[in-house]
Every structure is written in structure tokens, then in C-alpha cells.
Amino acid sequence: MEQDQKRFTRLDPVIHARNQDRWSGPLGEEALSRYERDGFLWFEGFFSQERVRPFFDELKEMAKDTDLVKSDQVITDPDSGDIRSVFAMHELSRRFDELTRDPRILGMVRQLLGGDVYIHQSRINDKFGFQGSGFNWHSDFETWHSEDGMPRMRAVSASIMLTDNNEFNGPLMLIPGSHHYFVPCYGATPEDNWKDSLKSQRVGVPSQQNLRDLVNQGGIQAPKGPPGSLLLFECNTLHASNKNLSPWPRSNLFFVYNSVDNVPGKPFCGHEPRPHFLANREDHEPLSMHDNLEPL
């Protein structure tokens, strides 16, 4: 029988820029209040489709690199064996590295996190048509806190759609308002848990009762849109996605921005830290904006 765990109201602010600095950025009060309430912001068509198409083409080329595919930083689908995730994308590709420094994204992230940021993790999540497996309900912070030693809820994920995200191909689902609670998950974290959890997550999944209560309170939203759309979501927002049963692929790029004042320490689960490609523990130099980006 599933054991339930009591959830706790979060202690950290959702928007870390304080007082007058709250408005020192591109986001207005309406967007800030929505992010504070829901835990995410959705920008349909943020980039043009022409702007993001080369990233999807580069992913297909990476799939042909047998040495890369055999490395630990590529996670394969547990059912099909195809690529599920490629981590540390900003270290593999100059194009991806430049995208992390896009002035519009970086400006919003700095505003939300209250200062300078670095890349804690970057990845592509890919779901091939008819076979792409889903991702169970989870809070990224619960994993990053336990397995990486991230101290506080002071990180933001930026997800850029490289393909259409529609109701049929397994779009990301989020529970609005769930970021206001820390939901402990039952069970000890196994050593090297990442080797299994990135294929199919079983540890670090909230209880069904907690999920039921939070969904009854906030509902479920699944932002959908064309390639180039952008989703910013708070590190503690519960999210998941279904299996892709459609013929259309679903590929999304993720950059995790963490505050330079929130660098990982010793993992709270008591095990050795996860590999560098999952949790950047070395380069915390603040990101500077890249002004020589290709035109949008």
C-alpha cells in the first residue's frame, strides 16, 4: 500500500528579486503575479520556427554519433532503445551554449531569481512517434535537493519547443500552484539512482493522495504550441508527461538556470554527487548575455 507523506508550505520566495528590484527586468507585474501564482509562464511562438529548426537537425545528427549515444550522458528509451535525453547540451554544441545566453530569456530569469545565474543542467528530451515513453509526476527540486545538494528553491527551467507540442504527442503537464508546497517522497534514494530514474522514475514520485489533493486544488495545464514556443517553470512545480502515441515526434530543449548564490553542496540523500553532466558543480561563472545571436 502506498505510504503518504505530509506536504509542507514552501519557505523560499517564488520571485527572488526584492522590493523595487522586482520590476528590474522585462516581465511586468501581470506576468510576475501569474508566475508567483501558477509556478510557470508560457510564451507561444517566442522564437520563429526557422530559428529553432537547426537545433532539431543537430539532435538528429547527434543520434548518428555512436560514441556519444553509448556515453552516460545519453539516456535511451526503456522501451524502444532510442534517444530519450541528451544531457549537458550547452557543452556539446556552440549553438546551444549561445541560446542559454539569449538576452530576452536571461533577462527574465535574472529577474525571477534576483541576480546572476549559471547553467545547473541542460538537456534535450525526445519522444519519437508511436513509442516515446512518458515522465512520471515529480518536482525537479526534490531530486536536485536530495541527489545534487541544491540548497534552496532558487532555480528556473526554460523549455524551448523544437517540434509541435500538441495534445497527442505527450506535452508537458503541470499542476498550477504545486510549487507552493514541498512534497517529500517516500523511500530512501538508492545509490546511483540516476541510472534508473532517468529512464523510468519510481523514487522521488509524490504519493497519489498528494497529487490528487494538489490537482483538485490547482488543476492540470498542458501548454501546447508550435516550435519556438517557450515555457519557464519554477524548480518546485510538479510536472509530468504522457507517452507519445501519435506519429509525430516531441522534442523539447531544457536549460536549468540556478542562482550563483544557490550552488550545490553535499547531496542530502547521503550518497556521492551525481555526474557533472547532470549537475554542474564546477563552473558557476555568471552567464553573460550573447548579443551576436542569429536573427529571430
Q: In this model, does residue 291 exceed pLDDT 70?
A: no
Going along the chain from its start, the domains and CATH numbers come out as 8-259 (2.60.120.620)
Question: Which residues share a beta bridge with 259?
Answer: 117
Q: In this model, does residue 2 exceed pLDDT 90?
A: no
User: Within 10 A of 265 (CB to CB), how many other CB atoms are there?
Assistant: 12
**31-85 tens-digit pLDDT:** 999 999 999 999 999 999 999 988 878 877 887 888 888 888 888 777 776 778 8
Q: In this model, does residue 105 exceed pLDDT 70?
A: yes
pLDDT of residue 190: 59
**174-222 tens-digit pLDDT:** 999 999 999 987 666 656 554 554 444 566 688 899 999 999 999 999 9
Establish how many alpha carbons lie within 13 A of residue 257's alpha carbon, considering only the half-sphere containing its beta carbon.
28
pTM of the model: 0.90
Q: Which grid coordinates are listed for 186? A: 517516500
Mean pLDDT of 136-143: 92
**152-177 tens-digit pLDDT:** 999 999 999 999 999 999 999 999 99
In angstroms, what CA-CA distances link 278 with 2, 25, 58, 138, 295?
Answer: 29, 29, 20, 16, 30
Q: What is the mean pLDDT of the chain?
A: 88
pLDDT of residue 141: 95
Q: What is the DSSP letter of 23?
A: G
Give the C-alpha separation, 291 to 293, whole Å. 6
Q: Which grid coordinates are listed for 7? A: 506536504
CB 42 within 8 A of CB 138: no
